Chains A and B, each alone.
Chain A
Amino acid sequence: MLMDYNTTDIKPLLEKFWAGETSSHEENWLKKFFNENPSPKGMEEDAMYFLALSSSCSMRLDSSFDHELMSRIRNKEQRTTAFRWTLRIAASVIFIVGLVTVSQWVFKTDEPPVQITQTTNTTQPVDLEVMRAFEQTKSALLLISSKLNKGQEQTMMLSKFDEAQVRIKPTSEQ
């Protein structure tokens, strides 16, 4: 890479560098040049900058950083897994409770009379409103049946007209 430029190109290249206009390729070339020529004549001050770049590095993070970070990550991972399991269990419980509630509701609405007879037979506390409704329906049905009986008695009277008609007919023919 060093062969791409002549040493006479250094000065203009340095000017370009300080102006912030050099490419990565040119900067790498300058770094290599100053590494091979630590203190070229007339460029000592420029060389200082490149010496600082190539000969120093910031502090590094040792393996204790890795251990600390990874243990924190594993702790978080375990907590996340536990939380997910809790969520799954909670969701299952909610699902089962929901299923039971819905099935009970369906059972109630499909067979209401059975419910009433069951409750009366087993002498369990019965819903007051249901009982009232049952009593009202019963009395209403009794009322209808009594009226029907009365009507039936009255219709029996109609046969008397037939008898009268039969008796009248022969006398009118004579």
Chain B
Amino acid sequence: MTTAEFQLNVLPLKNKLYAFACRLLTNAEEARDTVQEVMLKMWESGKPLADYENIEAWCMTMVRNRSLDKIRVGNIRQQHLKVIHRGKRFEKPHSEKMELQEMVQHVIRFMNTLPVVQRELVELRDFQEKSYEELVEITGLEMSQVKVYLHRARKTIREKITELNAYGLQHN
């Protein structure tokens, strides 16, 4: 792969890979380093671009494996990652906007406290809108496992939202 091919085909994937690494590692610096390591490794391999069937899925798998290794070693400091809010719903009076942002922050926090295998599926399916086939390819799980873990993840978040509504924000 030439440097020009790399810049055209691999570098634009940086934000997707970074979002995925952030969801897995819950640490911005570690996620940044992981994406850089994976991209450098890919360039160093010298493999021709045509040899990659699905370059995005390949990079995602590499980021996943590297992140899981880091989690296994266990010296990752968890952070509450800053969430950027967007959309018309936030164009509201200050107090209402703050409340809405706080609710969203809670939902994101629920996601980040899920087991790693569940939160990676939520990131890939619900945020990045990948197909089930891609989920299988990236994670190496069986299709049935993917569906079960995704179901558990969504169910857990849904239950926590109900609790949040029942007890109010001040108790969470």
Contact = CB atoms under 8 A, between A and B. Distances in A.
B89 A45 contact: no
Contact of A55 (B19, B22, B87, B147): B87
Given A51-B104, A72-B40, A57 B86 contact: yes
Given A45-B158, A51-B103, A73-B43, A58 B3 contact: no
B23 A24 contact: no
Given A18-B158, A38-B89, A45-B162, A58 B36 contact: no
A65 B28 contact: no
B81 A58 contact: yes
Interface of B is mostly: helix
Contact of B11 (A55, A57, A69, A76): A69
B127 A59 contact: no
A69 B40 contact: yes
B161 interface: yes
Interface of B: 3, 6-7, 11, 14-15, 18-19, 22-23, 28, 32, 35-36, 39-40, 43-44, 81-87, 89-90, 100, 103-104, 107-108, 111, 125-127, 129, 131, 147-148, 150-151, 154-155, 157-158, 161-162, 165
Given A45-B158, A48-B107, 11 more contacts: A20-B150, A20-B154, A45-B161, A45-B165, A49-B161, A56-B84, A56-B104, A59-B18, A61-B32, A70-B3, A73-B43
